[in-house]
Structure 1
Amino acid sequence: MEKVNLYKKRDNALREKFNDIAEEYEEYRFTYPEKLFDDIICYSGEGRKALEIGIGTGKATPFFLKNGYKVVAVEPVKNMLEVAKRKFSDESIEFIHSTFEELEAVDQYDLIYAASSFQWVNGGNRLGKVYTMLRKGGVFARFKTVNIILPEKNTNNTILIEAYKRFLPDYLPMDVSNTNMRYEEYESKGFSDLKRNEYYIDHELEIEKYVKLVNTYTEYLVLDVSLRKEFEDYIIGKMAGEKVAITQKCTLYLARKH
């Protein structure tokens, strides 16, 4: 089975798969650690104008609203945007149904942030556009998350990893892939004061809820339906009522416009 490189493909049909899982995404996806947000505020300051690239259902948004930011939220996927609008109906937030690429670079912001979304932005000058849309001294915060299954956490994890090896060997959730910040890429666009932090949170989920979580991952959704069902039937049959331990690894990249 050839592994699909989703972030190179980035076609609209693939992106629109999120339309089908907007409610499940909101229910089952983890949020981000409080310390990550504290570090962004410490670096950037409080209570100014922010642009969120790819709000999704708004997993990261509440913290910035709570800290006094006026948020402009861009999201290309209609159903994800509708969930976010419903969540923040009483908040001071502006929603734009658009991709970041299509957004006119007419406003300037004190903070631009992207939560598990910047990899979907097309174009070699995406950092350049971010830089243009920041005020002098403004901050770009990019953060992403990967959920890792480590065999040493519990015996159920070993069973789960064996199931991945049997059915989905290219999608082992043990990927601690290179998350180093490409400093030269940021510096070439004019950014400075670059920082990178990592955060780890442990979760436990019943196997049935783990399957629900996995079904919000695009790389999983693009797989053949029969293969997904075979994998899910196998792990639920082996582990019904049992829990798996998940290590959520979050990586934050910070950069400033001078």
Structure 2
Amino acid sequence: MQNKETFNFIPDEYEKFRPTYPDEMFDDIFCYSNAEKKDKILEIGCGTGQATGGLVGKDYKNITCIELGNKLAHFTAEKFKAYASIKVINTSFEDWNGEGSPFKLAVSGTAFHFIDPKFGYRRVWELLEDSGTIGFFWTIHVPKYDEIHNEIRSHYVELAPHLDDSKLQTPEESIDERRTITEDSGLFSNILVKEYNQVLTYTSNDYVSLLNTNSKHRQLSESVKNSLLNRIKNSIDKSGGYIHKDHRVALFLGKKLM
């Protein structure tokens, strides 16, 4: 199962347990892009339409959504069926013919990393109008080292050591890497990175349900995944039944370079 296909089988769980994107982020995107309500927006990898909802919440509804997963595309099409101006196209971004271009703004929420950047940034540049902008954003994992998180980390070390977050990139390294990729494309100027932080609280059940929507967890064998999630749930229950998670979103803005 490829990473970019893992969410297609769990649209309801993804919609229920994944945190939405911060409202102020959409304000920042539209302020930076100077997009008007009538302007055409391209969304790459819409999933269950969480980011789409953020756009619609700001009264921007002229949106073309590209989604590879057929179940996800159907979910989002149903979710926004009241808006005739929102089109959901079930195809890969690589195979899409660019119908409706040029666009004023291209956005992508925790999805653009599935696309080869050498192809992806060039293709987006081609699809944007001359004054077009990008607003790509990702949820960034923030490791914690308190008692409960260290105990949970020990379960990963034993059962899925490649997911031990103490061995992964730091949030700062992840953000710097994406900034560099964006800059090195040579296709966008005035690169601006903004971060949004909050602390989310989960019950043990909701937390393991959230983890079950993560692509790397879903690629584990069923036996390993079930053992891991059960151990995590038991650890949270023993510590009081709740866990606090630092939630960070990084937004990368850029203007089409002519």
Shorter-chain TM-score bucket reads 0.7 to 0.9
Residue in 2 that maps onto 1:237: 234
Moved more, 41-50 or 208-217: 41-50
Q: For residues 241-256 of structure 1, what are the structure 2 equivalents within 5 Å? A: 242-256=241-255
Contact preservation (8 Å) 1:214, 1:220: yes
Counterpart CA distance in 2 for 1:67 and 1:41 is 9
Structure with more helix by fraction: 2
Q: What is the CA distance between 1:157 and its match in structure 2? A: 2.7
Calculate the aligned-residue CA RMSD, in Å: 1.9
- What fraction of aligned residue pairs are identical, expressed as a percent? 26
TM-score, normalised with respect to structure 1: 0.87
Tell me if 1:197 matches 2:186: no
Distance in 2, Cα, partners of 1:101 & 1:17: 18
Cα offsets for 1:98-140 (capped at 9, x unmatched): 1111112351000011111101124622111111111111111
Q: Return the match for 1:111 from 105, 115, 120.
A: 105
Matched, 1:90 2:87: no
Alignment of 1:112-151 (within 5 A): 112-122=106-116, 124-151=118-145
Could you state the TM-score of these two structures normalised by the residue count of structure 2? 0.87
User: Which amino acid in structure 1 is aligned with residue 113 of structure 2?
Assistant: Q
Whether the aligned pair in 2 keeps the contact of 1:148 and 1:248 (CA below 8 Å) is yes
* Equivalent of 2:20 in 1, 11, 31: 31
Q: Structure 2: how far apart are the matches of 1:34 and 1:123?
A: 27
1:56 to 38, 47, 64: 47
Q: Could you tell me which residue of structure 1 aligns to residue 7 of structure 2?
A: 18
CA drift of 1:23 comes to 1.1
How many residues are matched?
243
Aligned-residue offset at 1:165: 2.6
* 3-state DSSP of counterpart to 2:8: helix
- Deviation string for 1:17-44 (max 9, x for gaps)? 3222111101111111122111101101
1:199-214, aligned counterparts within 5 Å? 199-214=196-211
**What is residue 156 of structure 2 aligned with on the other side?**
164
> Which string of whole-angstrom CA distances, capped at 9 and with x for unpartnered residues, describes residues 169-222 of structure 1?
221345524211015423x22x21111111111101011111100111111111
Unaligned stretches of 5+ residues in structure 1: 1-11
Task: Report the CA distance shift for 1:13/1:167 in structure 2 as closer, same or farther (over 3 A).
Answer: closer
Residue in 2 that maps onto 1:215: 212
In 2: Cα distance, 1:76 partner to 1:125 partner:
16
